[in-house]
Amino acid sequence: MSRQKLGQHFLVKTSILDRIAKAACPELPAGSEKQKEPLVVEIGPGKGALTARLLDRAERVIAIEIDSAMLEHLAGKFSGNSRLTLVHADALDLNLGQWGRAVITGNLPYYAATPIIEKTLQLGNQLMYAMFLIQKEVAERLTAAPGSREYGYLTVRTRLSADADRLFDVHPSAFRPPPKVDSTLIRLRPHDRARELGIDDAAAFLEFAGLCFHQKRKTLRNNLVGAYGKESVDGLPEASRRAEQLTLEQFAELYRKLCA
Asked if the model's pLDDT at residue 28 lies above 90, the reply is no
pTM score of the predicted model? 0.92
pLDDT band at 174 (very low <50, low <70, confident <90, very high): very high
Q: How much is the pLDDT for 4?
A: 41
Residue 2 in any domain: the answer is no
Q: How much is the pLDDT for 41?
A: 98
* CA 59 to centroid of chain Cα atoms: 23
Same-domain pairing of 33 and 155: yes
- Of 164, 191, 218, the residue at which a domain comes to its end is 191
Separation of alpha carbons 162 and 156, rounded Å: 10
Q: How much is the pLDDT for 110?
A: 87
Which is nearest to 194 in space by CA: 176, 180, 208?
208
Per-residue model confidence as pLDDT tens digits over 106-160: 999 888 999 999 999 999 989 999 999 999 999 999 999 999 999 999 999 999 9
pLDDT band at 34 (very low <50, low <70, confident <90, very high): low
Mean pLDDT of 151-172: 97
DSSP strands (E only) in the chain:
10-11, 40-43, 61-65, 84-88, 102-107, 127-135, 162-170, 175-176, 183-190
Determine contact, residues 247/197, Cβ cutoff 8 Å: no
Residue 51 in any domain: the answer is yes
Separation of alpha carbons 106 and 7, rounded Å: 14
Same-domain pairing of 127 and 221: no
Same-domain pairing of 143 and 230: no
Please list the residues that pair with 166 across neighbouring strands. Answer: 186
Same-domain pairing of 161 and 174: yes
Strands 127-135 and 183-190: antiparallel
Cis? peptide before 177, omega within 30° of 0: yes
Q: How much is the pLDDT for 27?
A: 74
Separation of alpha carbons 3 and 222, rounded Å: 43
Number of domains in the chain: 2
Separation of alpha carbons 45 and 71, rounded Å: 9
Mean pLDDT of 190-196: 95
Mean pLDDT of 180-197: 96
Edge-to-edge strands, sheet with 127-135: 84-88, 61-65, 40-43, 102-107, 127-135, 183-190, 162-170
Asked if the model's pLDDT at residue 29 lies above 90, the reply is no
- Burial category of 223 from C-beta neighbours within 10 Å (exposed 0-12, middle 13-18, buried 19 and up): buried
Same-domain pairing of 176 and 252: no
Mean pLDDT of 231-238: 93
Same-domain pairing of 105 and 212: no
Which domain CATH number covers 219?
1.10.8
Return mean pLDDT, the chain: 93
Q: How much is the pLDDT for 30?
A: 61
Same-domain pairing of 183 and 67: yes
Same-domain pairing of 124 and 224: no
Residue 1 in any domain: the answer is no
Separation of alpha carbons 160 and 139, rounded Å: 16
Same-domain pairing of 65 and 116: yes
For residue 214, give its domain range: 196-259
Same-domain pairing of 249 and 145: no
Same-domain pairing of 127 and 105: yes
